[in-house]
Amino acid sequence: MRLAASRTPYVDDRDARAVIERALDLGATLLDTADMYGNGRNEEIVGRALRHRRDEAVLCTKFGVVRAPDNTLSCRGDAAYVRAACDASLARLGTDVIDLYYLHDRDVSEPIEETVGAMADLVTAGKVRHLGLSNVSGQELRTAHATHPIAALQSEWSLFSRDIEATLPVCVELGVGVVPYCPQGAGVLVSDDKSAMSRFTGAHAERLALLDLLQEIAKHRGGRPGQVALAWVQQRADVWGIPVSPIPGTTSLRHLEENVAAVDLVLDAQELARLDDNSSFRTGGDD
C-alpha cells in the first residue's frame, strides 16, 4: 500500500508512522515510496516505521527524478547516478536491501538498457532484489526486460485513466505485474461529496456522471466510492489475468482501513459494465 501522504512536510512524523504501522497490522505488506518524496524524508519515515518490522514488508522505492534547489524537476539514469541513488536510499531506509527498485521516470538522454543494466548490477551486488519501471511504453518495457527481468510496472490506472490498458498485453506476455498509482483518481474518487468534482466542467463534465455512479454503487453496497474504485481496478486486472497491487495514498487511518477493506468488495457484472462504460480510456496497442 502506498503511503504517499508522508512525502509532505506538513504531516507529523508520528502520524505518518502510525498509518504505516496500522497498515502492517491490517496485513498490507507492500510499502511504496521514492527518493524525491519530501526530498528523501518519506524514505526516512518508512525506514523508522520498519526498524523492528522489516520482515513484514515488501519495501519498494524509486529513483531517477531529481529536484533542483528551485524545485524544477529533471531525470537522471546514468550508471553513476543509479549507484549513488540506491546507496542514498538504502541509508535513508535503514536497510541492507530494497525489495523492488523502480526507475521513477526515464532519462531520455540515456538508453533505457543502459539504465536498467546499471540497476541489474545492484541486484548482482545484493542491494536490490527485483527491478521495476514507472511510466514507460510497451516498447521501452520490452527493451528493458531483455536487459534484465522487470518484475513490475507502476503507472496510473483508474476509472479516470485507462491509458495503461494499451500496454497491458506486453505485461501479460512478459509476466510483469502492475502496480497502479492513483487508483482512486488522485483522491477525487475517495470523496462522496459531489463538490469534489466541481473542477470538472466542459469536456470533462461527464466525470460528474461517473461520481454519481460510484456513489450509487457505494450506497447500494454499504461502502464508500473510493472502495468501489479500488475494487474496479482489482477486477479489471482479473480480466487481463495479471497480478496487481494498487497503491492508494492516505494520511488518514480511517481511509487506510477503508482501502484495506475494499479487498473484499466484489462488484457484479452489471456494476462492472456500467463503470466501464462511464470510465475514460484510450484504445489501441502500445507495443
Q: Which residues are catalytic?
A: 37
DSSP 179-200: EEESTTTTTGGG---GGGGTT-
Retrieve residue 158's grid coordinates: 483508474
| Other Cβ atoms closer than 10 A to 115 | 25
Of 279, 262, 276, 268, whose CA–CA distance to 27 is shortest? 262
> Strand, helix or coil at 166?
helix
Helix (H) or strand (E) holding 103: strand 98-103
- Residue 275, C-beta contacts closer than 8 angstroms, at least 6 positions apart: 159, 210, 213, 214, 217, 228, 232, 267
